Amino acid sequence: MSRIKEFNLPDLGEGLTEGEILSWLVKVGDTIELNQPIVEVETAKAAVEIPAKWGGVVTRIFHEAGTVVEVGKPIISIDTDPSSGPVPTEPAPTSLETQTTAAAAAAATTDTAGGEVEAGLIGGPAPGGRTAVLVGYGPRTTSAKRRPRTGTATSATPAATTTPPAAATAGTPAGTPPTASPTPAPAPVTRPGLVLAKPPVRKLARDLGVDLATIAGTGPLGSVTRDDVHQAVAQARSAPDLDVAVEAAPAVTLTGGVADAGTREQRILIKGVRKLTAANMVASAFTAPHVTEFLTVDVTRSVKTLEKLRSRPEFAEQRISPLLLVAKAVLLAIKRYPMVNSTWSGETNEIVVKDYVNLGIAAATERGLIVPNVKDAGRLTLPELATALNDLVRTARSGKTPPADMTGGTFSITNVGVYGVDTGTPILPPGEAAILALGAIRPTPWVHNGKIKIRQVTTLGLSFDHRIIDGELGSKFLRDVGAFLADPKTAMLTWG
């Protein structure tokens, strides 16, 4: 068994297919221990540190920081027995082994049109002598015929040698006819309507809006690689727009200087947490019929209660904020109205009411909005809840929230008041029936005991899934949350 072991990027949960390497915590030549963190990877869920699967010496790092790597691809190799001296080289295969391997590879990589397909591409070889295929479609047993692309000429020959337009005109000024080169570079062999590329590369091209047919692949047998796609995007952004006349007037800045529009725009690739959040919000907004209700509450007594809690030894090392009492109010109100803490299941045609509350707290991070949750928050005491909320927010802001903490939420709170916003109409996290927005607490003229006084006032906004929660239930729930915040001492004594 080889001493050198390759560590593949693991599946970090919920069918994630790729991750971006944020930073390496080790380098080639380092001696590492079992379970020592070696790399920080960002997925569509969060940034996580991955521990080493073996102890030993790092012999190779396959990808630099900033690279997006597919799950299952090697990221690092480790010499698990460095004390045994230099790593022995693998013996060369015998003549019979060489012939057998070559014959098997040739048979596996030759398609019905007479061409060869690289290992890993659809129709190419896979471990165990199998053929790489799309799941559910089986290996190809007959020649495939594709419909000609719109606007392209067809040919009766099975293969044609073409020169990509970008390559033919590279380095030629606009408006100048290309000149023939005495030693033209060999053009890749292509088949009409067929572009060789691995499925992840095709997905990347779709996400970036790139037509693979316009790219001259640099991979084996002319297949298109990730680098080819990224290079095509970079060339498209830097290339001049040939549809615009050369005499067109240049853009002028406010100060009268000439400006390049490209230097005044910033393009941010949608990936990771932001990409998943966007997909979830779109799915939620167009799946669950949202209703939002608002309630303005005098929270002066809640503010005074927080001041008293800060002086108690149980909260001495905790950061106490209005969010703590809002969370407690929500947990107590859910006990009175369990239907608020439920999920609509279209697959089974059921409403699933949860007997536990995984309380989600929306947190803004550098990588986008995430909603980690406190597991079984209803069973926590007030000091335990304060600790859990502080830990949750601190971990989220550091970018270290594990994927497990971002799944399974049942009810969420978003505190827009920290930004000075009065309230909002939040969108439900997928699978949840309600979400509460906490607005800013402001000194406001308020009628109290028949007189106008300056009181601490806030506005709550409750969005809920109208398939599960009707107006009456939503109104009662919001009313009780407001009643708790108006007089938390009495509510905890009578509700708790």
pLDDT digits (tens, 9 = 90+) for 443-472: 999 999 999 999 999 999 999 999 999 999
Q: Which CATH number is associated with domain 288-495?
A: 3.30.559.10
Evaluate if residue 146 carries a pLDDT over 70: no
CATH class of 4-84: mainly beta
Evaluate if residue 245 carries a pLDDT over 50: no
What are the residue ranges of CATH 3.30.559.10 in the chain? 288-495
Q: Report how far residue 106's alpha carbon sits from residue 99's, in angstroms, rounded to the nearest whole number.
A: 10
345 sits in which H/E element: strand 342-345
Of 25, 36, 33, 38, the closest CA to residue 80 belongs to: 33
pTM: 0.54
Highest-scoring range by mean pLDDT, 44-48, 180-184, 186-190, 394-398: 394-398
Phi-psi region of 349 (alpha: psi -120 to 50; beta: other; left: phi over 0): left
Question: Which pLDDT does position 436 carry in this prediction?
Answer: 96
Q: Report how far residue 196's alpha carbon sits from residue 117's, in angstroms, rounded to the nearest whole number.
A: 8
Question: Which pLDDT does position 451 carry in this prediction?
Answer: 95
**Which amino acids are annotated catalytic?**
466
Question: Which pLDDT does position 331 carry in this prediction?
Answer: 96
CA angle 204, 41, 273 (to 5 degrees): 60
What are the residue ranges of CATH 4.10.320.10 in the chain? 118-129+193-239
Evaluate if residue 252 carries a pLDDT over 90: no
Q: Tell me the mean pLDDT in the region 77-85.
A: 84
Evaluate if residue 494 carries a pLDDT over 60: yes
Q: Tell me the mean pLDDT in the region 303-324.
A: 91
Listed range (9-23, 121-135, 185-199, 364-378) with the worst mean pLDDT:
121-135
pLDDT digits (tens, 9 = 90+) for 90-127: 554 444 444 444 444 444 444 444 444 444 444 444 44
Q: Which residue has the higher pLDDT, 68 or 472?
A: 472
Question: Which pLDDT does position 286 carry in this prediction?
Answer: 61
Question: Which pLDDT does position 1 carry in this prediction?
Answer: 60
274 sits in which H/E element: helix 272-285
Q: Tell me the mean pLDDT in the region 38-47.
A: 77
Q: Which residue has the tokens 């980690």?
A: 372
Question: Which pLDDT does position 16 carry in this prediction?
Answer: 67
Q: Quick check: helix, strand or coil at residue 323?
A: helix
Highest-scoring range by mean pLDDT, 104-108, 138-142, 264-268, 353-357: 353-357
Average confidence score pLDDT of the chain? 76
Of 97, 44, 10, 42, the closest CA to residue 398 belongs to: 42
Q: Report how far residue 227's alpha carbon sits from residue 103's, in angstroms, rounded to the nearest whole number.
A: 31
Which of the following CATH numbers is that of domain 118-129+193-239: 3.40.50.2000, 3.40.50.300, 4.10.320.10, 3.40.50.2300? 4.10.320.10
pLDDT digits (tens, 9 = 90+) for 405-458: 888 999 999 999 999 999 999 988 888 999 999 999 999 999 999 999 999 999
Q: Tell me the mean pLDDT in the region 162-175.
A: 42
Evaluate if residue 241 carries a pLDDT over 70: no
Write the CB contacts of 410 (distance below 8 Å, at least 6 apart in sequence): 341, 342, 343, 354, 356, 357, 358, 359, 360, 373, 432
Phi-psi region of 56 (alpha: psi -120 to 50; beta: other; left: phi over 0): left
Highest-scoring range by mean pLDDT, 184-193, 284-293, 308-317: 308-317
- Say if CB 20 and CB 68 are below 8 A apart: yes
What are the residue ranges of CATH 2.40.50.100 in the chain? 4-84
Question: Which pLDDT does position 261 carry in this prediction?
Answer: 55
